[in-house]
Structure 1
């Protein structure tokens, strides 16, 4: 089976913006580009083009009043996805593409294109559409969840190959009976190609923040556990065991305002600095300059993208011992603790007080990442999933 030469990708996200799924989408594009595959990407009107050889962005028309798209489900997304479908119809050219690669709910478009035009369909499953309804507190309705489950099964039934990003999703899809289509592709790619290496300015206004630095990088959705982090800092301060500064990078203006208010209520606002949304280059620099990295997530099952950059950094990590983390992390490479303020505070306090322990734990994390993850393996895995889609479609046509 020959390699795909041209791929049509549907990405119902603001690509590129510095958050989970858009990072993942750009990772796929980088791998395709490195493999010499040309990709036409149909995506939202928001976000920045990423200059990569062979990659072309096709953006939907602007929807009046829509200047941002929040993480997870929203009432505006169906309208944006309708525009995505319309744009895809204009971009599509018969016999031009060897493969359709869809992300998230755009898998429905992939089903249509496969059935109408006979093009092989690779579905990139970053999360369960049904589970998103509860994970993002969008809807608790049984009917809404059932509808999303039916859509998910429709996509999985009528695609030729499925990419999943973590062990939990692999088990979930296997449990639904689609194991023969599965490929696990963790988001382990080194995303340093997204920035130019210049010195970032995110900390220029605060050059004298007390050390050590405890750094969190990511979104500020409720499941990320920022309230747990703040409560842990209060526990350490109450016990006179706190030294240093907590730096929190990410979140919308409203989210930052909310957590700043919570920090004031807890009496830790003097030692916690909320930086708001930062670019990927600035985020990487924060990780590099950290003394301790934290992921206080309290719920969810997908592995946070940040975990892979945390591991590569060679800095010590404190994370909650929920499945979201433990499907990648283990006690040899980080401190895994219960999602309780006392437990998180104890692990954080130990690392803040022991520079030698920070160095040894960080080095074990770095070695673990170097042994387990590589960009070459990432590219090979993506190519294998694409070839599987093309082979299965060819077999179904022959049958």
Structure 2
């Protein structure tokens, strides 16, 4: 267990590296915020090294240090981009500056920051925690298909950083298994949590029934990147309209440019049962989920379970999700309707749920009971404390 230092600038316990916009209301930044707030509550002194994008939360003791914004960037899309790589160079420079001023006991490296955090460890001699929120190799190969030819070599590098880290904190079972295969001996499963009540801090009166024109509502919440499978929902909406099924698919989330692209496409194709609302504050999430009849998670790529799924389950609404490991490591056929990753399968799933109210209620109730038993905030805190207690 690491000894807690005083609050002085010279001696700080933990530096958390957040190579994402921070804070914005998106999966990984939300997870980092939850992480640092709980580490702070445990009594550790925390600094965050963040990109120069995002709004600084109102922390009492946690300090945020930002790298320079060489590109004058205002936003950053999920995944690997040239813009992100350039901004991370600035983070490395800021990291060296911080390490020369502060004697951090632990560096908690999120996602790809593990590579350069591992590189500098012999110089600054800190304990290193790898926060494994996703498979970096999987992300890179999915984004840049030409990397497929060297995928095995990239996986060897990913295995090496798992092996050399003092602890690996994996967000899901598949990533924990990957770390174990790499030979890591100190692995901790720290899934996302159901925290609708903690997030519900903004009054919202938007009525989805008005938007759906009083039809049933199938709701998706999340970004509109290709790996999320939104095109699958688009085609499902077209088929549902052809079959005259009285349901409206409502999509919340996405950048302004992505929403505009899909809205233009919807208008051009004459779809009346598909609505793109754009982003809404996380504090309104419970308000929207509770208005839905069905919740959708059509993700088609990735190892980690989408953060949205945990709050979906907490809402006790029936879930339809793709029957892929990204979902099946948390969901099963007692807690959700798992279907093949196709628009036809989603259409059939939607019809099955709206035609069988008892079945829908059983799915929702089982999911809610499970998520609060296994993935509530108390379980998160206990697992995080155990992970940090193992550091020596």
TM-score (norm 1): 0.88
Q: Secondary structure at the match of 1:76?
A: helix
Q: Identify if the C-alpha distance between structure 1 residues 189 and 56 changes in structure 2 by more than 3 Å, giving closer, same or farther.
A: farther
User: Counterpart of 2:261?
Assistant: 258
User: Counterpart of 1:17?
Assistant: 24
How far the C-alpha of 1:324 sits from its partner, in A, is 0.9
How far the C-alpha of 1:193 sits from its partner, in A, is 3.8
Contact kept, 8 Å, 1:74 with 1:138, in 2: the verdict is no
The C-alpha deviation readout for 1:346-394, integer Å capped at 9, x for no partner, is 1111222344433332112111112212212211211222232x22xxx
Structure 1 stretch 293-302 or stretch 117-126: which is displaced more?
293-302
Pick one of 305, 308, 313 that aligns with 1:306. Answer: 308
Residue pairs, 1:127-146, within 5 angstroms:
127-135=134-142, 137-142=143-148, 145=151
Q: Secondary structure at the match of 1:349?
A: helix
Q: Identify if the C-alpha distance between structure 1 residues 148 and 77 changes in structure 2 by more than 3 Å, giving closer, same or farther.
A: farther
Pick one of 305, 318, 323 that aligns with 1:316. Answer: 318
Size of the alignment, in residue pairs? Answer: 385
User: Counterpart of 1:373?
Assistant: 375
The C-alpha deviation readout for 1:41-65, integer Å capped at 9, x for no partner, is 0001111222344322111122234
Pick one of 242, 246, 249 that aligns with 2:249. Answer: 246
Pick one of 214, 221, 226 that aligns with 1:217. Answer: 221
User: Counterpart of 2:161?
Assistant: 155
How far the C-alpha of 1:134 sits from its partner, in A, is 2.3
- Verify: 1:181 aligned to 2:181, yes or no: no
Contact kept, 8 Å, 1:122 with 1:386, in 2: the verdict is no
Contact kept, 8 Å, 2:241 with 2:273, in 1: the verdict is no
Unmatched segments (≥5 aa) in structure 2: 6-12
Residue pairs, 1:220-231, within 5 angstroms:
220-231=224-235
- Verify: 1:294 aligned to 2:296, yes or no: yes
Q: Identify if the C-alpha distance between structure 1 residues 54 and 288 changes in structure 2 by more than 3 Å, giving closer, same or farther.
A: farther
Contact kept, 8 Å, 1:10 with 1:41, in 2: the verdict is yes
User: Counterpart of 2:9?
Assistant: none
Once residues 288 and 251 of structure 1 are traced to their aligned partners in structure 2, the CA distance between those partners, rounded to angstroms, is 20
User: Counterpart of 1:349?
Assistant: 351
Q: Identify if the C-alpha distance between structure 1 residues 358 and 204 changes in structure 2 by more than 3 Å, giving closer, same or farther.
A: closer
User: Counterpart of 1:35?
Assistant: 42
User: Counterpart of 1:395?
Assistant: none
Q: Identify if the C-alpha distance between structure 1 residues 378 and 364 changes in structure 2 by more than 3 Å, giving closer, same or farther.
A: same
- Verify: 1:112 aligned to 2:119, yes or no: yes
Q: Secondary structure at the match of 1:69?
A: coil
Unmatched segments (≥5 aa) in structure 1: 392-399
Once residues 305 and 328 of structure 2 are traced to their aligned partners in structure 1, the CA distance between those partners, rounded to angstroms, is 9
Q: Identify if the C-alpha distance between structure 1 residues 132 and 8 changes in structure 2 by more than 3 Å, giving closer, same or farther.
A: same
Q: Secondary structure at the match of 1:245?
A: strand
User: CA RMSD, aligned part only?
Assistant: 2.4
